[in-house]
A = this chain, B = another copy of it.
Amino acid sequence: MKSKWEWLVVAGLLVAWGTAQMTQNIAAEKNEKMLRHVVLFKFKTEVTPAQVQEVADAFAALPKKIDVIKDFEWGTDNSPEGVAAGFTHGFLVTFADEKAREIYLPHPAHEEFKKLVGPRIEKVLVFDYWAKK
C-alpha cells in the first residue's frame, strides 16, 4: 500500500500533466497561422431550394476530397443590418498557407464543384486573408 504522501504526489502529477496539455492546446490554437478563404453566393431567383441545398452539400463535401482544406464551415446570412448585398450563403475555408490554396483552386474536385455552382449563381464574392488578431 502507498502512503498518503505518495498518493498526493501522484495526484499532483496528474493535475500538472492535465494543465500542461490544456495550456499547450490553447497555445497551439492561438499561434497557428491561418489563410482564410471567404466565399459568398447569391443564387439566381429561378434556382430551387433543393438546388441551393445541393450546392451547399457539394461544397461541404470538398474537405473530404481535398486534404489541404484545414478547416471548413458555412451558414446562411442572418444579419439584421441589411447590408449583405443579396448574398445568402457563406463559406469559410481555411488553409495552412498559399501553397495549400494553390493546390485547392485547380483541384479536380473543386473544378467539378464550380461546374455545378456556376450556372446557379447570380454572383460570387471571394475574399482571402491571413488571419491576424
Q: Show the binding face of A for B, using Cβ within 8 Å.
A: 2, 6, 10, 13-14, 17-18, 21-22, 25-26, 29, 34, 36-38, 40, 60, 72-81, 83-85, 87, 90, 92, 101, 105, 124-133
**Contact between chains at A129 and B17 (CB < 8 Å):** no
Query: Which single member of B18, B36, B40, B77 contacts A17 (CB below 8 Å)?
Result: B18
Query: Which single member of B2, B40, B127 contacts A77 (CB below 8 Å)?
Result: B127
**Contact between chains at B90 and A124 (CB < 8 Å):** no
Query: For residue A125, which residues in chain B have a CB less than 8 angstroms away from its CB?
Result: 83-85, 87, 125
How many copies altogether?
2
**Contact between chains at B127 and A73 (CB < 8 Å):** no
Query: For residue A132, which residues in chain B have a CB less than 8 angstroms away from its CB?
Result: 60, 73-75
**Contact between chains at A60 and B133 (CB < 8 Å):** yes
Query: Which single member of B40, B78, B81, B129 contacts A75 (CB below 8 Å)?
Result: B129
Query: For residue A84, which residues in chain B have a CB less than 8 angstroms away from its CB?
Result: 125-127
Excluding A10-B13, A25-B26, A75-B129, 14 further A-B contacts by CB distance (< 8 Å) are A17-B18, A18-B18, A22-B25, A36-B73, A36-B92, A60-B133, A73-B132, A75-B132, A78-B129, A79-B126, A79-B128, A80-B105, A83-B126, A84-B127
Query: For residue A101, which residues in chain B have a CB less than 8 angstroms away from its CB?
Result: 80
